[in-house]
Amino acid sequence: MKKLLYITLLATLFTVLFSSCEDWVTSTTPQIDRIEDDLLNDPDQIPFLITGVEARFALVYSQLVVASDLLGDQLMFDEAMANATFPTFREINDNFAGYPNEVIFASNTVRGVYTPMHNHRLLADNLLERIEGLEGLSDEVRNEAIFTGNLYGAVARYFISFYFAEDPCGNDTPGPQCISQFTGGPLDGSAIISPATMMDQILPKLSAAEAVASDYEKRVINTMRARLHLILGNYGEAYAAAQNGLEQGDAPFQALFSVQAPNEFYFAGGDGRRQVMPAFRFADYVAEDANEAARIPLKEAPAGDVSIAEVRYQQDIYPLRESPMDFLTWQENELMLAELEALRGQGSSDGLARVNAVRASHGIAAIAGPVTNSVILTERDKELFLQGVRFFDLLRFDVWPETISGTPGLGNTGNPIGPWRALPIPNDERNQNENVG
């Protein structure tokens, strides 16, 4: 995650190497053959390929967060903004309410996440294949490649299986059932792989990465394990992992960007173009306690870009093309521990000290407690602002909103929300994979 100077060259290289990436569904093997380039089998090129995996993760992550936080309730497609014109953003914001399948499965925004996401998985897996038996590779570089290929291979599988679905969940299905019954994605033309089943691939990869990891990286991996187990309701496993996860003071594990390979938020909901805006409640949080601005950075959108008299706020947590994005943090780990202790029967603590430690890290006053469902939901809403995990919380706590968000008086605001509780698998997959309907 450190070598930003390579990103421009990598973008060009991997565009060429995967120029036929839209065909990856029908035959994975030829695509792997296509990137078996002798020039890249030189030991000196492995660091370059490692950086390529990291850079592709950053691209996918920022695109996925925009889409999933529109699907959830942290972002809204605000038609009061003059440049809010992408119909696919509106469709996702509506949870595809009333849209026919030919529109849902043809979403360019969803496709724009889905194809690079699978490409990222191929790059991570190919890195591991490429170093197998490669002579002249130092132990240090080999271990870095093993760590990178396995960690990001696990992350890519998490994205594929936890964020996507073949079918809508429906408006009457309990949220936890949506996760277990409806979410899932395919690999290499397979049938849908549910999150619980995908863990059979994810957990061994995390263990393989851990075997060559630094102490800090081991804590990152355990926080990742804890997140996955928490989403699936495996509370004992989540607690065991989180106890060995990121600690207070640890640096966040981030996705890094550059001007040439920018953060998606800059052009979707930032100064580059203001289309998706934070839900109104985030401005309310800051109005209620100004110190919340430390973890919910907002700024007033220029009046000339707003078509109505009311003030609009835009996210300011990712203000630049090159703004990094937190993926895993010690604060998330503490909030997981707090939830597990206070609500899920793990340990003997009431979780309050952990919640207040997270608040104190931003200069926010302590709460008196107790730690309830509402406290955890609100603290996670604020702490994990625009990190792409909110829709899991809406499902886990079964509190999916009933109506569509957006600009009052415009669009579909206030109408019943659509039935999708994950991003729909697009036509590229459906048309070429006989196992996906």
pLDDT by residue (tens digit) across 122-133? Answer: 999 999 999 998
Q: For 267-282, what is each residue's pLDDT tens digit?
A: 999 999 999 999 999 9
Q: Average pLDDT in the 125-151 region?
A: 96
pLDDT in tens, 177-195: 999 999 999 999 999 999 9
Separation of alpha carbons 14 and 420, rounded Å: 32
Give me the phi and psi of 326, to 5 degrees please. -65, 135
pLDDT-wise least confident of 262-271, 310-319, 400-409? 400-409
pLDDT value, residue 26? 33
pLDDT tens string 37-75: 565 678 899 999 999 999 999 999 999 999 999 999 999
Q: What is the pTM of this model?
A: 0.91
Residue closest to 285 by CA, chosen among 376, 354, 371, 381: 381
pLDDT tens-place string over residues 71-87: 999 999 988 888 899 99
351: Cβ–Cβ under 8 A, 6 or more apart, which residues? 337, 338, 339, 340, 341, 342, 343, 371
CB atoms within 10 A of CB 155: 24
pLDDT confidence of residue 424: 98
Hey, how many other C-beta atoms are within 10 angstroms of the C-beta on 328? 23
* Average pLDDT of every residue of the chain: 90
Report the pLDDT value the prediction gives residue 175, as an integer from 0 to 100: 96
Q: Which residue has the tokens 């889905």?
A: 114
Q: pLDDT value at position 20? A: 34
Q: Report how far Cα 115 is from the mean position of its chain's Cα atoms.
A: 15
Show Cβ contacts of residue 163 under 8 Å, excluding neighbours closer than 6 positions: 64, 68, 183, 185, 422, 423
Q: What is the CA radius of gyration of the chain?
A: 21
Lowest-confidence range among 107-116, 277-286, 402-411?
402-411
pLDDT at 3: 45
The confidence score (pLDDT) of residue 22 equals: 34
- For residues 425 and 165, give the distance between their C-alpha atoms in angstroms, rounded to a whole number: 6
The whole-number pLDDT of residue 278 equals 96
Per-residue pLDDT tens over the stretch 192-238: 999 999 999 999 999 999 999 999 999 999 999 999 999 999 999 99
At 39 the pLDDT is: 58
Q: Which of 254, 169, 238 is nearest to 424 (CA)?
A: 169
Res 248 pLDDT > 90? yes
